[in-house]
Amino acid sequence: LPLCRVLPKLELHAHLNGSIRSSTLLELAAEHSQNGAVSYPELVSIIEKEKRSLPETFKLFGLIRLVTTNHQVVTRITREVIEDFAAENIIYVELRTTPKNNPAVGMTKRSYMEAVMAGFNTDSIAFNRIYVRLILSIDRRETTEAAIETVRLAFDMRQEGCEIVGIDLSGDPAIGEWKTFLPALTLAREMGLPLALHCGEVHNPEEVKSILDFHPERLGHVCCLDDLEWQALLASKIPVEVCLTSNVATLTVPCVADHHFVELYKAKHPIVICTDDPGIFCTTLSREYALAASCLDLVSEEVVKLAKEAINLSFAEPQLKQTLHQLFDFSHLKQA
Ligand code: 5GP
């Protein structure tokens, strides 16, 4: 773990509201329980559970949504998440979040994103300790039109110079159909926005096949694949975002040692170690690297190589990729 702490790291799969500090979540829940919006005891009991099934996890996301409703809270969470990532030597993060409308507080998808970017006002960013880029998520509950609205927003804001680098498809995998999102994802591709899509979190061979045929730039999870799809994944060489603790905590895979990333690593398939939702699953990227390293029996050089390979899998602009390479070359890993 000491090496994994000092290791410069890139986080390519972290959901903003899944990265919320537990202390902030409890504070917000206590405020909202006073007006009856959430049940504080229920929230505490879900947070305190070490493992929760995927449906329970999405119940928790529903509760988080209820307490993260206004612009100030969104800005605060973003700032705290960036500071927490920078504190464990994450030098680059692609933070993903779902733009939300909330007419009750005058929130539109755009104003939500502006509130997120107001959270970039941190010392860590000012002093280049961390570079932050954004991926806009389409929630699987959304309609085709709502998904297209998110893609257009990403395109427009990127044109305006905002740090938006891609599009994600996430949300409860038991909900929604591929054909609903395909028009928005096709539009994103036409607009030059790379795609990092959640794939195979539940058994859904038809959707997995469609996603693999669509060939997104990256895939998240890929836990529940049949043999045929697994072979197609290996042949595709599509990089996989590996979220060990999240997959075990949501009971999607039985244990880290049996996780499919072992086979991906041995097959030299491109992978990147990520946290998914460090706040929800009480983990850190350093811990995820330590888990991966012990599971794969890696020596220090191999851990550094694994972390460094994330640069090429990121959606960072070429010049920033160069800077990140230099940060690895100049880091003092040998002292660890
Ligand atoms: P937000 O987009 O609100 O910043 O982050 C929380 C949201 O990310 C959740 O409500 C959910 O839509 C999505 N999310 C977080 N973790 C996961 C995950 O493990 N799987 C999927 N499919 N979606 C997730």
CA of 186 to the centre of ligand 1 (A): 21
* DSSP symbol at 333: G
Task: Give the count of alpha carbons within 13 A of 258, CB side only.
Answer: 9
Identify the pLDDT of residue 96. 98
Identify the pLDDT of residue 149. 98
Give me 152's structure tokens: 């257009």
CA of 335 to the centre of ligand 1 (A): 37
Identify the pLDDT of residue 36. 75
CA of 298 to the centre of ligand 1 (A): 30
Residues of the chain with pLDDT under 50: 336
Can you give the length of the chain in residues? 336
CA of 98 to the centre of ligand 1 (A): 8
What pLDDT digit, counting tens, does each position of 102-135 carry? Answer: 999 999 999 999 999 999 999 999 999 999 999 9
User: Which atom in ligand 1 lies closest to the alpha carbon of residue 98?
Assistant: 2
**What 3-state DSSP class applies to 317?**
coil
The alpha helices in 35-177, defined as continuous H runs, are: 40-48, 54-67, 71-87, 109-118, 123-126, 144-159
Strand-strand pairing, 218-221 and 195-199? parallel
Identify the pLDDT of residue 50. 67
Distance from first CA to last CA of the chain, Å, rounded?
A: 10
User: Which atom in ligand 1 lies closest to the alpha carbon of residue 277?
Assistant: 16
Beta bridge partners of residue 168, listed in sequence order:
137, 196
What pLDDT digit, counting tens, does each position of 291-320 carry? Answer: 999 999 999 999 999 999 999 999 999 999
Q: Which of 13, 17, 167 to mutate to test the pocket of ligand 1 (most atoms within 8 A of CB)?
A: 17
* Cβ–Cβ < 8 Å for 50, 280: no
Give me 201's structure tokens: 């979190």
Identify the pLDDT of residue 153. 98
Q: Domains of the chain, with CATH numbers? A: 2-20+74-335 (3.20.20.140), 22-67 (no CATH)
- Which residue has a Cα nearest atom 8 of ligand 1? 15
Query: Catalytic one among 201, 207, 229, 241?
Result: 201
Q: Which of 73, 98, 168, 170 to mutate to test the pocket of ligand 1 (most atoms within 8 A of CB)?
A: 170
Query: Which 3-state string (H, E, C) describes the chain?
Result: CHHHHHCCEEEEEEEHHHCCCHHHHHHHHHHHHHCCCCCHHHHHHHHHCCCCCHHHHHHHHHHHHHHCCCHHHHHHHHHHHHHHHHHCCEEEEEEEECCCCEHHHCECHHHHHHHHHHCCCCHHHHCCCCEEEEEEEEECCCCHHHHHHHHHHHHHHHHCCCCEEEEEEECCCCCCCHHHHHHHHHHHHHCCCCEEEEECCCCCHHHHHHHHHHCCCEEEECCCCCHHHHHHHHHHCCCEEECHHHHHHCCCCCCHHHCCHHHHHHCCCCEEECCECCCCCCCCHHHHHHHHHHHHCCCHHHHHHHHHHHHHHCCCCHHHHHHHHHHHHHCCHHHC
Asked if 201 is an active-site residue, the reply is yes
* Cβ–Cβ < 8 Å for 92, 317: no
CA of 171 to the centre of ligand 1 (A): 5
Cβ < 6 A, ligand 1 pocket:
15-18, 61, 97-98, 137, 139, 170-171, 173, 198, 201, 246, 276-277
* Cβ–Cβ < 8 Å for 212, 225: no
Backbone angles phi, psi at 275, to 5 degrees: -100, -30
